[in-house]
Chain A
Amino acid sequence: MQSTTTLLDPTAELQTAARQLLPRLESIAGLTVGLLDISKPRGKEFLDEVQKHLEAAGAKVKRYSKPTFTRIAPTELTQQISVECDAVIEGLAD
């Protein structure tokens, strides 16, 4: 049945149909930002630089790394970041 991939919007249609991003932070001052190193070479140097900028803006920074860039982050790691941080920056490629 073709209609299984089309749904009717149950809402008042006040928002766009596309999935919504979470609300963006207005400021990072005083908040905790996680930096997730996906474990590609030289990621550390780049994130060190990012950390300096974030701290200059008043954020507290926590560092994390994925065991390997070839796979998605383990659930335990994403849960840990969601508990400990207000925002996260993840490097996606070289």
Chain B
Amino acid sequence: MNPTLETQPVNYVLVVKKDCPTCTVIEPVIRSLAENTSLSLSVYVQDDPSFPPNLDCVVDDSSLEYSYKREIEVVPTLIRLNDKNDVHSEEARIYGWDKGQWQSFTGIEELGAELVDFKPGCGSKTQDPGMSEVLALRFGEQILQARHVELAEAEDIMEACYDRGWSDGLPVVPPTPLRVMRMLSGSEREASEIVGNAPPDNVPCTIEKIAINAVMAGCKPEYFPVVIASVEAALQDRFCMHGLLCTTYFSSPVMVVNGPITKQIGMNSGINALGQGNRANATIGRALQLIIRNVGGGVPGGIDRACMGNPGKYTYCFAEDESDDNWLSLSMDRGFQRKDSVVSLFAGDGLQPVLDQQSRTPESLAKSMAMSLRSVAHTKLFGMADAILVVCPEHRRVFREGGWSKAELRKALYEELKTPGSEIIRGADDIAEGMPVKLKDKMLDKFREDGLHIVTTGGTAGMFSAIIGGWVASGERGSQLTSQKI
């Protein structure tokens, strides 16, 4: 037995809630500990300070401050203190009801002799769903650094977000501190960590600012790692986000997500994958756009000088269909493995269909696709814009059944697209637009060497592939597809 027990009262703290059957079962034990002169006890009650009735040592912890600070996970929890004047000077703790354990922990041999030997406890109220962020805001270390914007009483909260210029035109979810705390819980990253400088204002972009904008975009916390990775990709020099934002051309980030996370968070890589209706696809793509708008300061008519823009500037994000193990994914093309979760950003715009319902051989289908790819940016402009060829599952099947790999498809497309300069120079076909005349004797490639990316997505019915045209400043002089592991 602990010798100090014989010389001075040892302080104990017991945390209970009335709603817990174990706590009510041990009520006689609580009473006997409270009456025992060899120790002194405080009972912190999470839900009802009238429990147990008529005990002087009960402390109302319905605010859960004590339970939060002592990280109580189970009730009942019995804590032995080092210093009887400090309820946080914990020496040891036990939880649930285990008769032998309670007897040795308190040094009282007959404690609860009439009760069952063992009864597990219940979850502490601090563990209720959504409670941890509420308590962290109330009692925890202050981790949110963003400026607080206090709304006037008469302000409509949704209108207030519009009025302050935070919206892309659609309603945003108001970024309350609690929602931002919950978003931050979706990642292990520190709120204060600076991910990089956001263009065009070139200001430090913290994990917290990303979280605020992810909340506004409508993301769930589980999407947050994908959003962070997308920002990390966007801020890499090779992606050229600043220039992409400023361009008068249509382009904007197009996001392709690969790997296990797409299934974990329920992204759509099937029917209508590039359309509306999936929360993850819609909100992850939107979050990146809002970050560029709000943190970077890139607003249409300001630094964003797009002549027309494109609807994907609200959001443009989808998952790849990776159901065919023998067909490399986009992220595998970029050097990652199937098990990696990866975000890839492409400076692109729009969606141009490639309808081919007749081709049943890889040769015919590749020629058919090449013919459509010729029109990226302009049929007479070569080597200017990259592209993503989005192959639908039925078209992929044609290639697979014909024994073609993705590499063979890409090779065939490059071959098919090779064109004598004389056919596409300025003035050819009586069209002023075209390649510089000095290239008339060269054989020209439509796409630079790393300028044609192939992705699979979409429903299993429909021989409809598609082209996402790239920015006309593709490559090292502008933007290159940029992948970031999540």
Given known pairs A3-B177, A19-B163, the reply for A8 and B201 (CB within 8 Å) is no
Instruction: Give complex CA distance A5, B149 in Å.
Output: 8
Cβ B151 vs Cβ A8 within 8 A: no
Instruction: Give complex CA distance A81, B208 in Å.
Output: 42
Residues 1-31 of A, flagged 1 when their CB comes within 8 A of B and 0 if not, give 1011111111111100101100000000000
Q: Which residue of B lies closest to A1 (CB)?
A: B178
Q: Tell me how far the C-beta of A7 lies from the nearest C-beta in chain B, rounded to whole angstroms.
A: 5
Residues 146-173 of B, flagged 1 when their CB comes within 8 A of A and 0 if not, give 1111110100010011011110000000
Partner of B149, one of A9, A12, A14: A9
Cβ B203 vs Cβ A10 within 8 A: no
Chain B residues within 8 Å of A19, by CB = 163-164
Q: Tell me how far the C-beta of B64 lies from the nearest C-beta in chain A, rounded to whole angstroms.
A: 16
Instruction: Give complex CA distance A87, B164 in Å.
Output: 21
Instruction: Give complex CA distance A12, B153 in Å.
Output: 25
Q: Which residue of B lies closest to A17 (CB)?
A: B149
Residues 161-205 of B, flagged 1 when their CB comes within 8 A of A and 0 if not, give 101111000000011111010000000000000000010010110
Cβ B177 vs Cβ A12 within 8 A: no
Check if B295 is an interface residue, CB within 8 A of chain A: yes
Chain A residues within 8 Å of B160, by CB = 7
Cβ A12 vs Cβ B157 within 8 A: no
Q: Which residue of A lies closest to B213 (CB)?
A: A10
Q: Tell me how far the C-beta of A81 lies from the nearest C-beta in chain B, rounded to whole angstroms.
A: 20
A-B pair number, CB within 8 angstroms: 77
Q: Which residue of A lies closest to B167 (CB)?
A: A10
Interface SS of chain A = loop
Q: Which residue of A lies closest to B164 (CB)?
A: A19
Interface SS of chain B = mixed
Residues of A that sit less than 8 Å from B by CB: 1, 3-14, 17, 19-20
Check if B297 is an interface residue, CB within 8 A of chain A: yes
Cβ B176 vs Cβ A8 within 8 A: yes
Instruction: Give complex CA distance A52, B163 in Å.
Output: 35
Partner of B290, one of A3, A4, A10, A17: A10
Instruction: Give complex CA distance A2, B290 in Å.
Output: 26
Residues 36-61 of B, flagged 1 when their CB comes within 8 A of A and 0 if not, give 00000000000000000000000000
Given known pairs A10-B212, A11-B294, the reply for A20 and B198 (CB within 8 Å) is no
Q: Tell me how far the C-beta of A8 lies from the nearest C-beta in chain B, rounded to whole angstroms.
A: 4
Given known pairs A12-B198, A13-B147, A14-B297, the reply for A7 and B161 (CB within 8 Å) is yes
Cβ B198 vs Cβ A9 within 8 A: no
Cβ A6 vs Cβ B176 within 8 A: yes
8 Å CB interface, B375-409 against A: none
8 Å CB interface, B284-326 against A: 290, 294-297
Q: Which residue of A lies closest to B205 (CB)?
A: A12
Given known pairs A10-B212, A11-B294, the reply for A4 and B149 (CB within 8 Å) is no
Q: List 20 A-B contacts (CB under 8 A).
A: A3-B178, A6-B150, A6-B176, A7-B148, A7-B175, A7-B176, A8-B149, A8-B176, A8-B177, A8-B208, A9-B146, A9-B147, A10-B166, A10-B213, A10-B216, A11-B166, A13-B146, A14-B203, A17-B149, A20-B165
Instruction: Give complex CA distance A20, B146 in Å.
Output: 19
Which interface residue of A1, A7, A11, A20 has the most chain B CB atoms within 10 A?
A: A7
Instruction: Give complex CA distance A14, B203 in Å.
Output: 9
Q: Tell me how far the C-beta of A13 lies from the nearest C-beta in chain B, rounded to whole angstroms.
A: 5
Q: Tell me how far the C-beta of B229 lies from the nearest C-beta in chain A, rounded to whole angstroms.
A: 19
Check if B17 is an interface residue, CB within 8 A of chain A: no
Given known pairs A4-B174, A19-B163, the reply for A10 and B144 (CB within 8 Å) is no
Which interface residue of A1, A9, A19 has the most chain B CB atoms within 10 A?
A: A9
Q: Which residue of A lies closest to B180 (CB)?
A: A8
